[in-house]
Amino acid sequence: MQGIAACIFDLDGVIVDTAVYHFKAWKRLANELGFSFTEAQNEKLKGISRVQSLELILGWGGMEKSPAEQHELATRKNDWYVDMVHHMTPDEILPGAKELLESLRAAGIKTALGSASKNAGVILEKVGILPLFDVVIDGNMVSASKPDPEVFLKGAEALGVSPASCIVFEDAIAGVQAAKAGGMKVVGIGEKKVLHEADLVVENLQEIDIRILTNLYNAK
Q: Which residues are designated catalytic?
A: 10, 12
- Which residues have a Cβ under 8 Å from the Cβ of 179 and sit 6 or more positions away? 8, 149, 152, 168, 170, 185, 186
Identify the sign of the CA torsion 96, 86, 114, 111.
Answer: negative
Q: Strands (DSSP E) along 65-175, which ranges?
A: 110-114, 135-137, 166-170
DSSP secondary structure string for all residues of 12-65: BTTTB--HHHHHHHHHHHHHHHTS---HHHHHTTTTS-HHHHHHHHHHHTT---
